[in-house]
């Protein structure tokens, strides 16, 4: 097949496109990566070169978070060729209502959380009939680089991720909704509900909020409210991320942070909290993960989903320490192949960390057990196979995967 992928302003997505391109080429497919930032004509990824590639049929296009499929010109090209457009959502669908309402004809969506799949089916079942679940995947390590033994790794606990002030993120509601109105209050109370119960999805929190406010809300109204809930989604992510880091900082654990924004967090004052770097390319984070005993994950409110931090940690022979999700509970066993903590009982987190740092043999057994499973089932090679199978099924049957 002739397949198009994209470069965008999101550096990690560009890395994904590169890795996926190599996997698809291994399988004999012809790949073109279009740079949506519009480089000069002589650039191998320019629109001029894309026009030459697209002069013949384009069988498929693969996008992340809708980037590359929303432009009217490109939609026209995909429709003209009856191109199958695969849209892989790395973030919640509540952020992408427009993409789900306006897209090419042969449109196939994947979500990284089962709750997200149900969200799409519930609110966009007519416009997005083909939606399925696809877990995140990890990057296979370079086999020529020796594995660092657990006891010799440089970092006790590493967290790779940014931090923003929850208050600042929540204040962005004011850009969409007039302050002082009932709708504005809805989002403030929604955030409070999620703080009170970390097990709620954003949608479940919205239902609880309407009940608390005594609002009779039908499905269409709730869909409209969810369209503007992105600031709340960001705020609750950062609130919990900040809590987890604060607990570890106060415990005295040697904690290393890789990502921007942590100078604005209270942990910056602790001598046991170390800033490695502000922002580095996605690929470069893997070496840091490989040199950490524990790689911390705080789910970005994926209550039934996955995150690539977990799989990258395991493939880099490190132990992921994460809060759970329904998918994690169904595919991992705490204490055997993954280490879990509970956002509702963060006071236990330092003890969990201490035990894992002390019991080197146990930690190494856990890593080895799930390295093999992850390397077999949750890599970019697997992702390429899932995408190709879905495209072929859609072309063959015209139905959902």
Q: Look at residue 342 and tell me if it is in a domain.
A: yes
pLDDT band at 395 (very low <50, low <70, confident <90, very high): confident
Residues 100 and 51 both lie in one domain:
yes
- On whether both 187 and 257 belong to a single domain, the answer is no
Q: Would you say residue 171 lies in a domain? A: no
For 107, the domain range is 2-137+381-397
Query: What's the burial of 39, exposed, middle or buried (CB within 10 Å: 0-12/13-18/19+)?
Result: middle
The string of pLDDT tens digits covering residues 8-46 is: 999 999 999 999 999 999 999 999 999 999 999 999 999
Residue 61 lies in a domain: yes
| Interval 106-131 mean pLDDT | 96
Are residues 204 and 345 both part of a single domain? no
194 in the same domain as 249: no
Same domain for 121 and 250, yes or no, is: no
d(CA 107, CA 28) in angstroms, rounded, equals 23
In a domain, 385, yes or no: yes
The predicted structure's pLDDT at residue 356: 97
Do both 213 and 244 map to the same domain?
A: no
The verdict on 161 and 298 lying in the same domain is yes
Per the prediction, the chain carries an average pLDDT of: 95
Residues 21 and 113 in one domain: yes
* pLDDT tens column, 207-244: 999 999 998 889 999 999 999 999 999 999 999 999 99
Position 347 scores a pLDDT of 97
Whether residue 344 is contained in a domain is answered as yes
Question: What pLDDT sits at residue 197?
Answer: 96
Q: How does strand 319-322 pair with strand 30-35? A: unpaired
Look up the CATH number of the domain holding residue 342: 3.40.50.2000
Do 220 and 318 fall within a single domain? Answer: no
Does a structural domain hold residue 287?
yes
One domain, residues 244 and 323: yes
Tell whether the model's pLDDT for residue 401 goes beyond 80.
Answer: no
pLDDT tens digits, residue range 253-311?
999 999 999 999 999 999 999 999 988 999 999 999 999 999 999 999 999 999 999 99
Strand partners, 309: none
Q: Which band of pLDDT confidence, cut at 50, 70 and 90, is reported for residue 319? A: very high
Q: ∠ CA 148-150-153 to the nearest 5 degrees?
A: 60
Q: Is residue 361 part of a domain?
A: yes
The domain total for the chain is 3
Is position 108 within any domain?
Answer: yes
Q: Does residue 270 share a domain with residue 132?
A: no
Shared domain for 122 and 193, answered yes or no, is no
**Arithmetic mean of pLDDT, 351-374:** 95
């Amino acid at each position: 097949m002739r397949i198009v992928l994209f470069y965008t302003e999101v550096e990690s997505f560009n890395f994904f496109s590169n890795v996926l391109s190599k996997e698809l080429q291994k399988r004999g497919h012809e790949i073109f990566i279009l740079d949506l930032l519009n480089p000069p004509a002589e650039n191998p990824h320019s629109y001029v070169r894309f026009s030459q590639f697209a002069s013949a049929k384009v069988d498929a296009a693969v996008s992340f978070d809708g980037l590359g499929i929303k432009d009217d010109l490109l939609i026209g090209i995909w429709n003209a060729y009856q191109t199958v457009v695969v849209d892989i959502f790395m973030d919640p669908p509540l952020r992408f209502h427009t993409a789900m309402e306006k897209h090419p004809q042969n449109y196939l969506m994947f979500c990284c959380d089962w709750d997200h799949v149900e969200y799409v089916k519930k609110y966009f079942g007519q416009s997005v009939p083909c939606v399925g679940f696809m877990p995140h995947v990890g990057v296979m390590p370079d086999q020529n680089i020796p594995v660092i033994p657990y006891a010799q790794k440089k970092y006790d606990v590493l967290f790779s991720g940014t931090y923003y002030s929850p208050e600042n993120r929540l204040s962005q509601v004011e850009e969409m909704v007039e302050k002082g109105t009932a709708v504005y209050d809805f989002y403030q109370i929604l955030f409070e509900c999620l703080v009170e119960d970390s097990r709620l999805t954003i949608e479940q929190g919205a239902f609880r909020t309407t009940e608390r406010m005594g609002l009779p809300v039908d499905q269409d109204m709730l869909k409209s409210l969810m369209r503007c809930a992105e600031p709340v989604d960001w705020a609750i992510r950062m609130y919990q991320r900040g809590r987890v880091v604060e607990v570890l900082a106060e415990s005295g654990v040697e904690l290393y942070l890789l990502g921007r924004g942590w100078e604005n967090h209270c942990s910056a004052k602790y001598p046991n909290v170390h800033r490695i770097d502000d922002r580095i390319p996605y690929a470069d984070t893997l070496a840091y993960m490989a040199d950490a005993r524990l790689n911390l994950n705080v789910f970005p409110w994926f209550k039934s989903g996955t995150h690539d931090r977990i799989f990258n940690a395991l493939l880099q022979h490190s132990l992921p320490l994460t809060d759970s999700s329904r998918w994690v509970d169904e595919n991992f066993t705490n204490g055997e192949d993954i280490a879990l903590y509970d956002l509702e009982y963060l006071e236990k987190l330092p003890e969990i960390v201490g035990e894992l740092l002390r019991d080197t043999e146990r930690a190494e057994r856990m890593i080895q057990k799930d390295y093999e499973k992850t390397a077999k089932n949750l890599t970019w090679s697997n992702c390429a196979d899932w995408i190709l199978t879905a495209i072929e099924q859609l072309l063959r049957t015209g139905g959902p995967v």
